[in-house]
Amino acid sequence: MSVSHADAFVAFEHVQKSYDGVSLVVKDLNLSIAKGEFLTMLGPSGSGKTTCLMMLAGFETATNGEIKLDGTNINMVPPHKRGIGMVFQNYALFPHMTVGENLSFPLEVRGMGKADREAKVKRALDMVQMGAFANRRPAQLSGGQQQRIALARALVFDPKLVLMDEPLGALDKQLREHMQFEIKHLHESLGITVVYVTHDQGEALTMSDRIAVFNDGRIQQLAPPAELYERPDNSFVAGFIGENNKLPGTIEELSGDKALVRLATGERIEATPVNVTQKGQKTLVSIRPERVEFKPEMMPDDAHMIGAEVLEVIYMGDILRTVLRVAGSDDFVMKMRNTLGQTKLVPGQKIRVGWDPLDARALDPI
């Protein structure tokens, strides 16, 4: 899904942000978000993603460039006039108010009558299955319940756009996964636009329509989850999303969508060129561990085979994580499904591994 600037609901145009006047935290950001889209900003801490969210919410001002909401420039609009719902990392539920008062607050400041307010608060609480908790204080709720209330509060005044700043970061794994689906379902049923910030790639892959991977103040890749995972544009994205084997080498031949790479040990493998442009260039070939095979009958016809030595087999329940020595690198990982009758590999065993050339992506070296 690509969005042109013209019909974008939210648009960042050449946005730059500096806190100290010396260095840029956000460097020339261009991003268009469609109405109803679930867009995730993913990146390590300090990559500029939260700054982008804060600029959109109005708590930070862009040093340069324009931020547009529904076609109008909102650079100078104060936060309370933007009508954007926001869920904070620590929920920011007002501790001195009950749950009901928390939800009523955005309606009160909009001057809504008491009867209307109560109806809306009730509807919002029912939406997150917290209808019975209106008279509790936030401190009396568990983390997951507070999270739901924060969500209901951000939605109760019917904003068109909802921002979420690592909203599930404080929850345990099981609850987090459960809430991911709930947020996703709410997004689908309400038809709102969501901009979601996280550093958890699993969360990003599960929930998003598109993911913008941030690093060093720039968007490294903007793509739907499957494309991002299977066809990373550069080494950073390949390394940041999922596990990844990297084989360093040099481009020996380059023709259209095929490249021949000579590895450090002299072996030659085929790969799909992504951001290499000429012969003799250094490259990192990236291969996902679950795409590596060692049984010839499981490999496609044109698969490339290479010698490997088993170093370690780690039993992880659903998979067997096998660490191999391949082409001189000691940390090449192969994930084997733990099926009945799976071949038992032992350390020291010599095998041959292979993969589809489409899964071997020749990227920029870092």
- Does 25 bind other proteins (CB under 8 A)? Our answer is no
Q: Closest approach of Cβ 33 to other proteins, in Å?
A: 18
- Does 5 bind other proteins (CB under 8 A)? Our answer is no
Segment contacting other proteins by CB under 8 A, of 36-44, 76-84, 181-189, 206-214: 76-84
Q: Two tokens at 183?
A: 């947020």
**Which one among 95, 191, 317, 348 touches other proteins, defined by CB under 8 A?**
95
Distance of alpha carbon 99 from alpha carbon 153, whole angstroms: 9
Residue (11 or 154) nearer to other proteins, CB: 154
Q: Are 189 and 36 in contact (CB under 8 A)?
A: no
Distance of alpha carbon 175 from alpha carbon 49, whole angstroms: 24
Q: Two tokens at 242?
A: 């999922």
Q: How far apart are the first and last CA of the chain?
A: 29
Q: Are 184 and 38 in contact (CB under 8 A)?
A: yes
**Which one among 22, 96, 139, 346 touches other proteins, defined by CB under 8 A?**
96
Angstrom CA distances, 252 to 275, 279, 307, 359, 366, stand at: 15, 6, 20, 18, 19
Residue (88 or 229) nearer to other proteins, CB: 88
**Which one among 15, 33, 84, 271 touches other proteins, defined by CB under 8 A?**
84
- Does 139 bind other proteins (CB under 8 A)? Our answer is no
Alpha helices in the chain (DSSP H): 49-57, 99-108, 114-127, 143-155, 173-190, 201-207, 225-230, 235-240
Residue (48 or 106) nearer to other proteins, CB: 106
Angstrom CA distances, 82 to 50, 53, 213, 356, stand at: 18, 13, 26, 49
Segment contacting other proteins by CB under 8 A, of 45-53, 90-98, 119-127, 140-148: 90-98
Residue (110 or 282) nearer to other proteins, CB: 110
User: Length of the chain in residues, anyone?
Assistant: 366
**Which one among 34, 36, 70, 105 touches other proteins, defined by CB under 8 A?**
105
Q: Hey, is 114 helix, strand or coil?
A: helix
Q: Closest approach of Cβ 235 to other proteins, in Å?
A: 35
- Does 85 bind other proteins (CB under 8 A)? Our answer is yes
β-strand partners of 247: 285
User: 193-198 and 161-165: which strand pairing?
Assistant: parallel
Site string for other proteins, 29-68 (x = CB under 8 A): ----------------------------xxx---------
**Which one among 79, 224, 296, 328 touches other proteins, defined by CB under 8 A?**
79
Give residues in contact with other proteins (CB under 8 A).
Answer: 57-59, 78-80, 82-86, 88-90, 92, 94-96, 105-106, 109-110, 153-154, 157, 163
